[in-house]
Chains A and B, each alone.
Chain A
């Protein structure tokens, strides 16, 4: 336990001091990995713990991203950068979750997919969100007198926030609440029979995951400085699922690892060939067929996925 905490602490410190030893491009890659890592971990809370396969997680990523973009343009402060995006994503998750948890299995997949596409359709169409061009030129916030336009400050801010998000998720899945979620994943009927308000637990999990997904989206906007409707597109959800699957579901750090593998593979492959999507698709197919436990599963010798 202590060894593990020390290990995680060492990783956080390593990530924090990374810019001191690495060039601009590797630092950018690391930041990208961290942002997508939060998004993938928030999805893993649903996928790997509650057993809810959401194909609509991009809705929260996009909402967080757009709200941050709009708010930061008004006033570049903490409230705009984190609080408003998180609240907006939480609200959206409450509404989408309310509809979606009424159904399960493939219906849940299709409903979450379609509801997130609704946001894509809207953002793609309306002028106040910049239609298909999205919102560009978003300033980074000022935080406690620190200007995050400064590269070092921004890096530390990202690492700290992502560490915090991971800590929160880790506490959640270890809590009694997290164990109830696992119980629901194992056997929903049984949990209902022993008296748990299963639907309420699922909704809370959905809102939690959505909120963190919104934070990830907001961080993405701050990282890139812009947001486009593509953030809402359903392939964003699919790619996040892919990260979780490649890394290994139900472990949280597997999601982070998967995000890392995804981003690194993407940058590696696209520097050699234009056929990134082909390699991506192939990798994915091979993982699903031959390594359903993901990287974590392969490392620990676990073959099947907990499903």
Chain B
């Protein structure tokens, strides 16, 4: 049909905040026909004000709150909080606790990436990939339950160590789950990463170069997919990371496919890390004494760790009491969803929006806090 009277219609379309589309996150997309002219992000559906709530609670109570900042990656948030508290008070965790924390943080990374495979596949219409990934995710969740007592919110890291030891057959159980995941690698490749639907819908989509990514505050797999080998675990190693051989996965193209392949590589890298950590884990204490109302001397700390989504930092100001004076959380998703996502969306086809959004793997809980 060739009608000269017909003009291109501009309209505004919502993306989210219904959960299956975007998580609890809303974006308003201005479209001209199929093309995205502009995208505005509207977060806030999960704003709970944790940073303020932490000012009313002691450090031990706050570890429990820090979990809830991002349900998909709880160990990283605990890691950053307990380190900030420990550095503020000059306490160092015992060697064994450092290894246990690193093991759990890496399990958390695999957990988060498996969840992401599920959501990303689902967003692209590959439901089988979603089912397989979420099935395997359950294996790690059960492992969490065995080791920490909690499935999704472990509350396991404490200032001064961890709450409980890894004992009995727990290490064996971890190894068995890792073996299963490793065996499944081929299955994921067939169903997801080298599946034609997946490759055609992500290849060359949402391309960002290293310079723009840095300027907008991108970190983690998004930045590593542009060829930058930036990783807090390597740049400012904490806990047991200095003692193990860490592989940083990078890709060159900076598109949605590269970001996906970085996460694919990171699952394998984390499996190898956990094996090394289990092998080298020393015997001994798993925590030092940290009273419930321990007073922390005045001062301030900025501690960063590498979460599954990128650089996660806690800025903690203490005033000499048992509660922090101020806590500021720098979540990796904040920059990814509110700066990088609108930037990548301008000028693309509307059907590419879910692929771009989920290739960044933002966590709305983490961006709102």
Do A and B assemble together? no
